[in-house]
Structure 1
């Protein structure tokens, strides 16, 4: 356990609490104690998997937390522990960015290369993670994909943030995975574009050069109206809080949106590109 891993009053981190709470929930099931075999049957998994989860061996399969919450009627408890456990596996800077994102009232994204994580399908995300680490095991990849998809819950909540997404037109043509993966991803972008709180715009390839040519950018507005600029490069990231630098990032983003296609024309272009895959 690293010094940055969050623990509760008992000294347990989220993964250890998940294991302990699962054992407790199984043993104190209102209809009588459940064996690992019976829990595995209800969760449509194997007894070996349940045993590994209860003993804290390896990552929790991403499909199980929601099923455990359904079986034990725990109102999202296991899902929250799972998300916390996965988040704790990321470096501190990424954990802070995810925490800011989760409580933001506005999320503005720009990407010149790929569809950002908040809008990715599972297959698209899996391809990116697999390309990023060809030696990673399937359970590790599955945990990463599950954590990425869990971030998208904030878009489906009762009070979702105001979301703006600007993509370079090349993102619609850059192959990530199979043609089917691309078709599904572009169709999902259109679903996001239909949300009343989300605006999706495409920056045409023939647009003038700009300050963010090669740099993805996320602007997060907190509930206290504080602005943060998140920038990323190869295996590095930074969260900028200095007001002057953040204002510069906002100006650069505004220039992108003014050069980008309208939301309607962007949706038409996405549909056109979807048909080419």
Structure 2
């Protein structure tokens, strides 16, 4: 069985999205291209490595121009069997959301933040405003709205198993202020009660742990290889090399070994939330 690469899967999902936006069927596009429906379907499903000519032709039929066209053609030129680097925020976010929606299990470790799927709107707004220093208010709000829309995956009919790992130090940093942080932690406590969610906190008493190397996400799929996602400010890197995936699975095992169990994590979060509430109502916050 031929091994799919990450890039082909990402490009295929974007081609399928553009076709839906153009309100065209596979048959309509294939007829205009002179390409078989099965070939076009394999391209959209990431089961066939695309050529620049094929992607350019499909985009022309769909009327895709400008930055989206340039981005996809660049991805075709940079195809690698071991990873995919995405730069532009728009396409990068869409690709991430597509993988997130397709996954049957998502494991997210965050070193200094609450994982994106678990963020409240006020917390997300504070984070995005701090990180995106040149973003306009409208851009920040658009990103917050997009992040909140991702949370629908947690409560859909067949939700993925979501495993969230975070640090106590991240929860004690009053991002957005004590009141925002208290609300965020209460939201985490409620989320921990969902059957499809596993939430564990690494206490500050742990002197060092495997997660100090940085945050990451593991996506497991029913019919595709597991992906690792590592994000930086302006880029995102996907890796599906089996050795890389095995390394990050070991990271998860090591982090689980030092994290509190569910009851201990919830007890700690409730304690931090009370501390934040006290700070929010204190005289210095009046």
Instruction: State the TM-score bracket (shorter-chain normalisation).
Output: 0.5 to 0.7
CA distance in 2, matches of 1:8, 1:160: 26
Q: Which residue of the partner structure matches residue 151 of structure 2?
A: 152
CA contact (8 A) 2:115 2:166 kept: no
Deviations 1:133-169 (A, max 9, x none): 3442222211111100000000011111111111111
Deviations 1:193-243 (A, max 9, x none): 010111111111232533320410111101215211111233332111001
CA distance in 2, matches of 1:134, 1:211: 30
| Pairing 1:1-277 to 2, within 5 Å after superposition | 7-8=18-19, 90-224=89-223, 226-277=225-276
Structure with more of its chain in helix, by fraction: 2
Alpha-carbon distance, 1:266 to partner? 0.4
* TM-score between the two structures when normalised by the length of structure 2: 0.65
Structure 1 stretches of at least 4 aligned residues deviating more than 4 Å after TM superposition: 3-6, 9-12
Alpha carbons of 1:142 and 1:243: their partners in 2 closer, same or farther (altered >3 Å)?
A: same
CA distance in 1, matches of 2:161, 2:18: 32
CA distance in 2, matches of 1:10, 1:192: 33
Answer 1 or 2: higher relative contact order, Cα 8 Å, separation at least 6.
2
Alpha-carbon distance, 1:132 to partner? 1.9
* TM-score between the two structures when normalised by the length of structure 1: 0.67
Alpha-carbon distance, 1:129 to partner? 1.3
Alpha carbons of 1:197 and 1:11: their partners in 2 closer, same or farther (altered >3 Å)?
A: closer
CA distance in 1, matches of 2:179, 2:20: 47
CA contact (8 A) 2:227 2:239 kept: yes
CA contact (8 A) 2:210 2:254 kept: no
Q: Which residue of the partner structure matches residue 44 of structure 1?
A: none
Give me the CA root mean square deviation: 2.3
Alpha carbons of 1:188 and 1:9: their partners in 2 closer, same or farther (altered >3 Å)?
A: closer
CA distance in 2, matches of 1:90, 1:250: 27
CA distance in 1, matches of 2:21, 2:239: 35
Alpha-carbon distance, 1:11 to partner? 5.3
